[in-house]
Amino acid sequence: MARLIHDISNAYRQTEGIAEVVEAIENHGHTQKIASNIGVSLLPELKDRFATTYKNSTLTRIPVGKVIAFPGAANDPISTSMAAKPTPEYFQNYNKTHGITAKKPVIFVDDSLANVRAAVKQGWVAIHWSASKKIEQLMADLVTLNVIH
């Protein structure tokens, strides 16, 4: 299982234009966090690969919000849950850890429709978007939600 997760995390590729999206959200004063199922031990490797391979600091600029813990992972408050997306426990744990309320909503962008649907059930605003879609569509969705202008 660990090898499969490692291989999947190494399959991630930077999406053209995503750095500009992250910057636009940051410039509008919104907090961004990484929510990932790849595990705490693989995230630093992925961040490093993006920084060296793509000469991009996008993943290092965004703090971790929730990364699932696999057996033997570091004991970290953001990753103590074994629950992964799309389980309700994943989103509930995130809400509890970060004090998320209706007055402080989460805007969640994910490539998995199941994850998006689960996030909506937990009160999050969610956008289903993947690298196969144009980055301009994601920007338009964020403008519609008044996240960026």
- Hey, CA dihedral for 8, 111, 42, 68, is it positive or negative? negative
Give the model's pLDDT for residue 72: 43
CA distances from 52 to 3, 16, 36, 139, 143 (A): 22, 16, 20, 26, 31
Write out the H or E segment, with its range, that includes residue 96.
Answer: helix 88-98
List, in order of start, the domains of the chain with CATH numbers.
Answer: 2-144 (3.40.50.1000)
CB neighbourhood size of 19 (10 A):
19
34-36 and 64-67 beta bridge pairing: parallel
Instruction: State the 10-residue block means of pLDDT for the chain, 149 residues long.
Output: 59 77 88 74 78 78 64 47 82 84 83 93 90 88 91
100 alpha-carbon distance from chain centroid? 15
